[in-house]
Every structure is written in C-alpha cells, then in structure tokens.
Amino acid sequence: MAAEPEYGQRVETPGAVARDDWKNTILAGLANYIDAGSIVAGSTALALWTSMFHLTSTFTGLIGAFSSNAISAGVGALIGGRLCDQVGRKKIYQWDMLVYAAGMLVLVFAVRPWMIVVGFVLAGLAVGADIPASWTIIAEMAPDRRRGKHSGVAQVLWYLGPVVVLLAGVALSPLGVLGSRIIFAHLVVLAIVLWALRFRMRESTVWTTAKARATSAASGHFQELFQRDNLKAMAFLIGMYGIWNLWAGTNGFFFPYILHTVGSQTLAVSDGLQAASFFLGVLSIYFVFMRYSDRLDQRKMLASSFIVQIIGMGLLAVFHLTLPIALAYVILTGFGGGWGAQSFFQLWSGELFPTLLRSTAQGFMFAVVRIGLGIWSLWVPDIVKVGFTPLAWILTSFLVVAGIIGVLGAPRNAGKSLEEIQLDRRRMARERAARTQPAGPSPA
C-alpha cells in the first residue's frame, strides 16, 4: 500500500499539483492571520485595559511598543529568519505556533498589567519568527508566473484576521473584558490547530537543493547580507515598507483607541469602522493585486496605491475627526492599501535575495521595521494628547516618503523564476565590476 503523500509533495496530475500548491500557501499564510489578529485583538482590548487597570499613556505606549505589532515581533523575526536558512523553514514555522499559543493564553487570563506585556512579548516572538519562514515558503513553492497571486493569499489572510477579530469585538462588546478574552482564546485554538496541520507539510525543495549544493565556502554566511547588492535591496525595502509601516502600525493598533478618545465614537463604532477598512483591503488584494501583479507594471500599481492612501490620510490632517471623515478615510486607505506596500514587500523580499539568505534578509528587515515601529509607538499616545492634527500630518508625510522610495526603487521581476532573478542580479554585478575594474597596461 502506497504511503500517503505529505502536503507539498509533487504528484502526477496538474490539478493535484495546483491544489497542493494552494494548500501549502494557505497553511503558511495563516501566520499572517494570527499576526494581524493578535495586533487588532490588542487594539480592541486597549481601551478596556486602560479603564480596568487605570493605565497611564506611558504604559499604553509600552504595550504598543512590545506587542506583536512591534519590538517583540522584530526580535523574533531576526532570530527565526536566520534559523530558517540554517536549519530549514519547516522546523521554524511548525513549532513557533506553540509559543504563540502560550502568549495568547497569558492574555486570556491576564489580571495584572505586566501579564499583558508578557503575553504580547511571547506572541510577538512567535509571529516574528513565523513571518519570514512562511513568506519564504510561499515564494519558493509558488509557480513562477503566479508568485504574486500566491503571495496575495497570505495578504488576504493578514487582512481577514482583523476583520474577524473586529467583528467579534463588536458582537462581544457588551461582555467587556470577557469579550476580549474570548477573542484571544480563538487565536489560541487556531494556533494549536495550525501547529498540528503543519506537521504534514514538506520542507522547501528550493532550500534543500541549495543546502545540498552548499560547501563550507558557499554562500549563506551572515556577512554576505551586507554585500552591495543585498544591502541595496534591504535599504530599498526597509525604506519603503518601514516608513509605510509607521503609518500602518499606528492605524492597526491605535485607530480604535483614537476614534474612541479623539473622535468620541463608541467602541463598537470604532471597531466596526476598522473592520470595514480591513475588509476593503481583502477585496482590493483579491481583485487587484492577485489578478494583476504577475502581469502589469508593478511600479505603477504601487504608485497608484500610495496616491489613494495619501489622499485618505490627508483628510484626517485637514478636517476634524468626524464620523463622515473617518468613513472616507477608511474607504480610501482600506481599499488603496490592498495592492500597496505590504503586498509588494512580501513579494519582493522573497525575490531579491539568494536562497540561503532569503529568510535571513526577511527576518533582518522585518526586525528593523517592527522595532522601529515599536520605538515610534512609545510616543503615539503622548502625541495624541498634544493634538491629533500634528499626528495626522506626520502620518501623511510617512506615506509620501515611503511612496517616493517605493516608486523609485521598484524592481521589474514579474513572471521570472527565483533562479532567473538571481542570475540576472549576478550578471549585473559582474558587468558593474567589469566597468569599475582598472584597465590593464597598454601594449608596447
């Protein structure tokens, strides 16, 4: 009797191969659901915790800084990304779910302020380690001409997590803190189920092949990450995604808090508006990014996304934070963001680095981005106390700067295999070296 194939193992029929590809993408991409879910679950609970524990603005900023939205996720990505390239993707994305479940359990039963910080730190370390592993798996297992489409699935799941959590927050809002505990509990259950399902996934054959060919002198050493081409790619991606994420992270974690405290909206209205924003993101990822990123000019797609989001954020900077303005902001930034910076960051960060440095690079960049967001988050509550308008103008400027960096540096790799992209990069490096090499002595 033939052994049952593992998830991801190639079989003979094209239909089965396609189903296998999507199964791997979904199981890997669910890391995005629990990442975003934990961030937004924290945002829905923040106002309740503030009232229940009499939290100061400083402690509120501390929660945001060390949540799975920021510093702890950055540290987890830095460690997990490197381990992915050294010991394999499967070991990381399999076991980190148990650490995540432990962190969520602490939040479920949190009865002291310090437990909130501990729970978020554990969850952040886990999702931080999982993101480079899962994004790398998706990039390496996706068909060459459908890599954008498969990457989009992970982004749909990232946006879907907040939709489920926020709608649950609206439905459970009469229960107060108990409702938040139930939301965290559903993330515990999902993490344990995902941990069990991932056991049957296989290791990335792209990584195993590269590892088998490697010698002691082969690529994959950490210092190679800072060679010219890799450093240039990281600077571009960190600049675009990192600055954009200062806006996105503030929106994701603090928007319900801001609407409640500055816009005088109920928690149910605040959560409902943010759920609408993320749902519009799901629609735009599916109908725009997944359908066109593999065949249209990716630079123009990115530029259009930033323009729509800048207009949306500019509304909050120019006008008073009323419900109609908040609704217009939600529509523009929610729909416009789906085919924007985060979707292309995931896609390009899986393309621009060699196999044995791919997760290391993603983990390093994710660490810089999330830790930078964590430092910024320490100041957000105090800025809001001074006045919301200055914060809105700062966030608008973040989108403008990130958009300029993204449009100027966007690569053109649609439809190419990962191997073709690396061959092109090595060829360009050789040509550049030949141009800069001093000419030999002239013949007598």
Q: What is the pLDDT of residues 96-143, one digit of tens each?
A: 899 999 999 999 999 898 898 899 899 989 988 988 988 998 999 888
Domain residue spans of the chain: 23-205+224-434
**Share above pLDDT 90 across residues of the chain, in percent, rounded to a whole number:** 36
Backbone angles phi, psi at 7, to 5 degrees: -60, 130
- Please tell me the chain's helix, strand, coil percentages from 3-state DSSP, rounded to the nearest 5: 80, 0, 20
Q: Which pLDDT does position 343 carry in this prediction?
A: 94
Q: What is the pLDDT of residues 246-266, one digit of tens each?
A: 998 887 666 666 666 655 566
Give the model's confidence band at 8: pLDDT under 50 very low, under 70 low, under 90 confident, else very high. Answer: very low
Model confidence, pTM: 0.83
d(CA 89, CA 135): 10
Between CA 367 and CA 372, with CA 370 as vertex, the angle to 5 degrees is: 100
CATH number 1.20.1250.20 is the correct assignment for the domain at 23-205+224-434: yes
Helix (H) or strand (E) holding 7: none
Q: What is the pLDDT of residues 59-98, one digit of tens each?
A: 887 777 777 777 888 899 999 999 999 888 888 877 889 9
d(CA 113, CA 103): 14
d(CA 209, CA 45): 45
